[in-house]
Every structure is written in C-alpha cells, then in structure tokens.
Amino acid sequence: MLIRRPSDFPSSEITGETLYQNRRAWLGAAGVTLAGLALPARARAWGAAVQGDDKLTPYNVVTTYNNYYEFGTGKDEPGQNAGGLKTKPWMVTVEGDVKRKGSIYLDDLLKGIPVVDRTYRMRCVEAWSMVIPWNGIMLGDLIRKLEPGTKAKYVEFTTLLDPKQMPGQESGVLDWPYVEALRIDEAMHPLALLTTGVYGKPLPNQNGAPIRLTVPWKYGFKGGKSIVRIRFLETQPRTTWNIAAPQEYGFFGNVNPTVSHPRWSQKTERRLGELFKRPTLMFNGYADQVARLYTGLDLKANF
C-alpha cells in the first residue's frame, strides 16, 4: 500500500489550467462589483494587473517574512535572530515502527535520494500566501528508504529544542518543541517534500534549515522546521498548534476556503506583493492531486 511510484509534478503543472480559468472568471466578477461601487477605473486596472499569475515571490520576501516562533513571533524576527543556529553537523533521530531506527547525520539520511525542484504555493493560515521554488527530496522517497512497519500510520516531525540557539523558546507562547505530523498516506504523497533549499540555495535558517517539511496543500503551520526527529506512530500524535488552540487548528490543516478559521475567513488570501486579496483554492489548488486522500472524510469536522 505504501509503495507508489513517484510521479513527478513539473512546475508548469503546479499552476493548472483550472486555476487560470477560475481566476479569469473571478476577476470578471470582481470587476463588476467594483464598477458597481464606482471605484476609479485606474484602480481597477491596477488591481487586475497585480492580480497576475502565480509569480515567484522574491527571494528577499521569502527569507524575511517568516513565521518561526522559535526565533520570535514577529515576521521579521526569524531573519534577525536565526543567524546563529548551527545546522552542521545535524543529527536526525528516527524512531517508532520503522526498520532503520537510530540517530543519523542528515547527510547520510538523505544520501542516495534524488533532489527535486518544486515550485509550490504556500498558504498561511493567516490568509497570506507566497509562491516558492523549493529544492528538496520527496518525503515518500525517504520513508521508503527507512522502511516503516505495518503499524506506522502516522509520521511525526519534531523541531529542535534548544532555547540557547532559539531564543523564542524562552517564551511560553507555544509548547516546545514544535511537533507536526502527517498521516502516512499524506506523507507518501509525491507532493510532500522535505526541503533543504530555496531558490537553488541552501535553506536559510529562518526558513527552517537544514531540513523542513513542505506540504503545499496544507496551511504553512504544518511544515515543521529544523527537524531533529522523525517518528513512525500507530496513533495520531498531538501537534503543536492543535494543542495551543484545538478549535482553531486541526490535525489536518488542509487549505480549505469553505471552512473558516473561527476568527477569520479562509475564503481569500493576500498573495504577498499584491494589493487585493484573491480567492483561496481548495487544497491550495492541488485538489486534482490530493483530494483522493480524503475521500469519505468530513473535511468540516476534520479541518
């Protein structure tokens, strides 16, 4: 069941034809609304122009606008505070129902697994988004290499706990260390990555160096950073934001415009660099690839 041939998704496919057409339709509708309310034509044209395609978010934005509370809760704080994090050598511990247990250097862990380039939309639960060219490995490739047992139903990722290097961990804003997890079939999905780089460069510390989880159809908080432990579990583990506010952040964290966050709508998002919000797409636009993972699951209850 776990073994599925990895199919590759070229960047061109990430922004599918459907998205393009939906956006046209939406822009038309928005234009009508705006015209009705007599917003100056120039502003409308401006809005349409910046509403453009899934253009790459510039490197300096990707690396200066980060949610990484281990280095502070401000968006600019990780960029300012993460410089001192020592990411080499880096040990990762593999635990649970898996054949290749134990602590291993990251370089050895990844040895022999092909590196892929993937451009993904990244949608934060706070209703902003980016488009980021990642480099990394398919998580499924690593999992196959580690050979999980039949009782491994979930994969859990734990971030480094080291308040000396991560000043944000001195505060009690979240339960440290940061823990995230996926169901094993989600983890095996060819879109799920462990990323080690961005824009063809090694991952900057503020983006989760040396290795982080990137799951493009889920809200950004699912992407645990600076991972030191991978655990294969039979039961669903508790995850950090779910512990912090269970009514606001579910285990799945799938991008879903039809399920509002209790305090704000998830229907739209602001793509960084654009002025107006754009509609949020089901599974962040990856429904064609991932919807089958959730057949029969009530996505409202399992948000």
Which member of 48, 56, 75, 144 binds another protein (CB under 8 A)? 75
Which residues are CB-contacts of 230 (< 8 A; sequence separation ≥ 6)? 92, 93, 94, 95, 146, 155, 156, 157, 158
Of the two residues 39 and 297, which places its CB atom closer to another protein in the complex?
A: 39
Burial grade of 50 (CB within 10 A; 0-12, 13-18, 19 or more): middle
C-beta of 114: minimal distance to another protein in Å?
32
Which member of 6, 276, 279, 299 binds another protein (CB under 8 A)? 276
C-beta of 39: minimal distance to another protein in Å?
6
Nearest Cα neighbor of 143 from 240, 4, 283, 298 is: 4
- Residue 286 touching another protein (CB under 8 A): no
Which member of 12, 37, 296, 298 binds another protein (CB under 8 A)? 37
Which single residue is written with the structure tokens 């880096």? 90
Which residues are CB-contacts of 18 (< 8 A; sequence separation ≥ 6)? 288
C-beta of 276: minimal distance to another protein in Å?
6
What 3-state DSSP class applies to 158?
A: strand
C-beta of 119: minimal distance to another protein in Å?
18
C-beta of 63: minimal distance to another protein in Å?
10
Nearest Cα neighbor of 230 from 112, 96, 90, 70 is: 96
Of the two residues 50 and 293, which places its CB atom closer to another protein in the complex?
A: 50
Where in 143-182 is the site for another protein (CB under 8 A)? 171, 173-174
Of the two residues 97 and 126, which places its CB atom closer to another protein in the complex?
A: 126
Which member of 68, 120, 128, 154 binds another protein (CB under 8 A)? 128
What 3-state DSSP class applies to 263?
A: coil
Which member of 15, 22, 64, 93 binds another protein (CB under 8 A)? 64
C-beta of 93: minimal distance to another protein in Å?
28
Contact letters for another protein, residues 215-254 (x by CB under 8 A): -----------------------------xx---------
Are 21 and 279 in contact by the 8 Å Cβ rule? The answer is no
- Residue 26 touching another protein (CB under 8 A): no
Which single residue is written with the structure tokens 């949610």? 67
Task: Report how far apart, in Å, the C-alpha atoms of 134 and of each of 14, 121, 184, 195 are.
Answer: 13, 10, 22, 6
Element (H, E) at 284: none
Residue-wise DSSP of 13-77: HHS-HHHHHHHHHHHHHHHHHHHHTT--HHHHHHHHHHT-S-PPPPHHHHTTS---GGG-SSTTH
Q: How many residues bind another protein (CB under 8 A)?
A: 31
Give contact residues for another protein (rule: CB under 8 A).
Answer: 30, 33-34, 37, 39, 47, 61, 64-65, 69, 73, 75-76, 126, 128, 171, 173-174, 244-245, 260, 263-265, 268, 270, 272-273, 275-277
